[in-house]
Structure formats: structure tokens, C-alpha cells
């Protein structure tokens, strides 16, 4: 079955697992944009523990702005800050040098819309994971879609995953802070490399 998801910036492992366990990925563009979600946030593992990277956005129509209309703000150099943070966090990871060129261009190019940036990043992530998963965007909003697996709630940044066991893998700062589960998928990619795909596929059914 095809899965319906909210857009997300460098999605957490849970969302990518749900994607790879479905037939097709449908991204919702017509829901109202809300704060405190991973639509414009991701969490990486920095030298001081979990670190939130947030894209500043502009709601064109105020609190009634739909996701498809959310614009990215460049009033501060967030791209430079994000890439510097990613480098600091993963420069010593086994596969950072191998995959960095897939991501660095996104921090030099300006995207007007958040949905566009997130979708292009998702395509790159799928390619790295060896998936040819098709991505489509919605053309209307449906509160209860009958023909799709609705997992738009996975976008909530504070969603409770305490009852889900994420297998531990090597992370550079484990000696200081321990293992951190369900971070941005780039944490998995930079640390596991080609094995990241196997890790995600093994947990796909958990999030469907």
C-alpha cells in the first residue's frame, strides 16, 4: 500500500523506515503548517549530545498557511550553520567523506519552498539507500484517506517512541552520551554507510 506522510527535513529513521516499507510515498502538501514538528527540524548527534537543526520559515498566509506554501527564510545564514554543524558532528564518522558530496550542494543552493527542499533531499536519501521509491505530492487534503496508509503523525518531533526498540549502532559520541535512537537518517548513513539500508529495512514493518 502507498503511504501518506508529511514533509520532513532530513527525516528521522522512523519516517524513512515507513517509506521503504511501502509501495509508494505520497507527501502531503495541503495540510496546515504547524510548529514543533520535523517538517523544518532534524536532530543530529553533535559533540554536546542531540542537536536540533531548524530551517527558518515564513508563513505567507499566517497561521492558515498550507505546507506547500511555506517559504524558506534566508535572513540568517542557516545553510552555513547547518552544514558546519553536520561537519562537526560527523567528520570522524566512517562514511562522512564518502557521502558528504550528496548533501553539501543543498547548503549552497537556495530553495524558495520548504516542500521543494525536503522532497529533493528525500530523493537523494532514497538513492543512497538503493531505493527507487516513487514520490508524489498530494493535490488536495483528505482528513481520512481510504486508499492510503496515513502516517502523517510521524512528523511530530515529540512523538513517543519509548515502546519501540531501535537496534544500537556505532555513533562517535557514544562514550560521552550513550546511544541516541531515531535521529536524522544522515546519522545512520554517515555511521553505517551501505549497511544503513539493511538497518532501515529490518525495522520497516515497525512503523507501518
Residue 3: the pLDDT is 95
Residue 208: the pLDDT is 60
Whether residue 159 has pLDDT greater than 80? no
Least confident of 43-57, 94-108, 160-174: 160-174
Q: How would you class 65 by CB atoms within 10 Å of its CB: exposed for 0-12, middle for 13-18, buried for 19 or more?
A: middle
Segment 74-92 mean pLDDT: 97
Among residues 45, 44, 69, 46, the alpha carbon closest in space to that of 59 is found at: 69
Whether residue 81 has pLDDT greater than 90? yes
Q: Return the C-alpha cell found at 81.
A: 550553520
Residue 157: the pLDDT is 62
d(CA 57, CA 67): 11
Partnered with residue 156 across adjacent β-strands are: 37
Segment 24-32 mean pLDDT: 96
Whether this prediction's pTM lies above 0.85 is answered by: yes
Segment 68-84 mean pLDDT: 98
- Cα-to-chain-centroid distance, residue 27: 12
72 phi and psi angles, rounded to 5 deg = -85, 135
Whether residue 136 has pLDDT greater than 70? yes
The DSSP output letter for 29 is -
Look at the chain and report how many structural domains it folds into: 1
Residue 201: the pLDDT is 87
Residue 144: the pLDDT is 87
Domain interval for residue 18: 3-207
pLDDT in tens, 15-27: 999 999 898 999 9
Amino acid at each position: 500500500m502507498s503511504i501518506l506522510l508529511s514533509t520532513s527535513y532530513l527525516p528521522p529513521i522512523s519516517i524513512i523506515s515507513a517509506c521503504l516499507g511501502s509501495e509508494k510515498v505520497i507527501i502531503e502538501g495541503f495540510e496546515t503548517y504547524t510548529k514543533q514538528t520535523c517538517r523544518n527540524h532534524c536532530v543530529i548527534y553533535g559533540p554536546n549530545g542531540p542537536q536540533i537543526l531548524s530551517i527558518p520559515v515564513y508563513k505567507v498566509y499566517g497561521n492558515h498557511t498550507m505546507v506547500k506554501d511555506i517559504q524558506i527564510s534566508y535572513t540568517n545564514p542557516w545553510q552555513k550553520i547547518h552544514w558546519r554543524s553536520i561537519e562537526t558532528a560527523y567528520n570522524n564518522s566512517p562514511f562522512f567523506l564518502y557521502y558528504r558530496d550528496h548533501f553539501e550542494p543543498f547548503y549552497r543552493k537556495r530553495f524558495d519552498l520548504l516542500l521543494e527542499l525536503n522532497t529533493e533531499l528525500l530523493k537523494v536519501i532514497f538513492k543512497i539507500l538503493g531505493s527507487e521509491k516513487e514520490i508524489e505530492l498530494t493535490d488536495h487534503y483528505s482528513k481520512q484517506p481510504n486508499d492510503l496508509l496515513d502516517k502523517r503523525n510521524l512528523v511530530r518531533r515529540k512523538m513517543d517512541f519509548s515502546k519501540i526498540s531501535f537496534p544500537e549502532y556505532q555513533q562517535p559520541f557514544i562514550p560521552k552520551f550513550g546511544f541516541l535512537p531515531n535521529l536524522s537518517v544522515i546519522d545512520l548513513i554517515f555511521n553505517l554507510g551501505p549497511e544503513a539500508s539493511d538497518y532501515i529495512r529490518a525495522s520497516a514493518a515497525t512503523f507501518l
